Structure 1
């Protein structure tokens, strides 16, 4: 597995310590350096090969937004901040995700998943998919007062309806009252993708796609307008 070289930029020691600890839990990540402000980070970026930057926004000397404007060919960035004021402005830069402090570990992992989806080479994604089958070959969902096993390799797509969710497998459907958002959090990002407010699809089952829809096992799944850019970018990389 190719290591992702990471840089932490934050003036708060506690925030740096938490991110260091999170990074140490993920085998794929390798911490190159930590910096206390944007000026220090600027120097590191000139000398080191960095794949991913965890960047605070409000810092002395040179803040996060100023660093984004200053560095040409900035590596992908995950913003880590206590302020949500800059969320909209940040996406004009190479920002993968916007994490609000305090950052839960599961939300940190979700951001790493987004990075993988956008920037991992297709070969690395395939390797990660194989690993995901081995480590998480199935999930359980509650349906008709019992817990039902759902093999991930057979999961075509999940559709969110008014009061329930329909899980569509190769050979059957399962109805559950869990939310579609809960499935988005639970399913491996390298294998599944949210393409519409009402649909999550299994990437390995996609036969064809256009700007507006995905063809999947003789079904046409719409691509939501707000999801379109990410979906096209993701599918064209695989």
Structure 2
């Protein structure tokens, strides 16, 4: 990032929407477009690679919504939501969004949102970010009216509770408003396995298993029939005859 510009990132699953924002950004010298993401999951990786000052973030996207993404980030950049749906406006401001732009977005309205964001952003000297060690990786979740840090290596399993999930860890549980599918998209696939429509487990925390269930701590969790084939591939030595 230059000393007189702000790094911004476009996040939208629709290429035409990204093209509009890209064209607007190119007209403003203070904005430096560092990349584009087609889903919210990619943003987590981008934030570890370089400093981002401003996210231009769609809300309704596959795997993980823009609202869910911001809720999970411990120190999110400034956010301008870009969406075709007006009903999420209140939620966006609860997350301290700078502005909420409804598609189709006019250039004049875009400039107004950027002008609101500029006084809130600073121009830090660029510093390379060190990669987060795998055993130190963590996410934040809103629970009990506060943001709770969950270290990934301490997760035993995740259980779906309709509109909420229960994250069972070595030190207790965290219940937060999330879909299990959205949370699955945020967890590293090398360490976590979806074994049932209601359960994701940490593969390293299994004590024992059969073709129909796994044992983690004092909990015996079922393997769903529709997930069994994939689970058979991921758990060494597990066969249908067990």
TM-score between the two structures when normalised by the length of structure 2:
0.48
TM-score between the two structures when normalised by the length of structure 1:
0.49
Select the structure with the greater relative contact order (CA < 8 A; seq sep ≥ 6).
Answer: 2
Greater Cα radius of gyration, structure 1 or 2: 2
Task: Looking at secondary structure, tell me which structure has more helix per residue.
Answer: 1
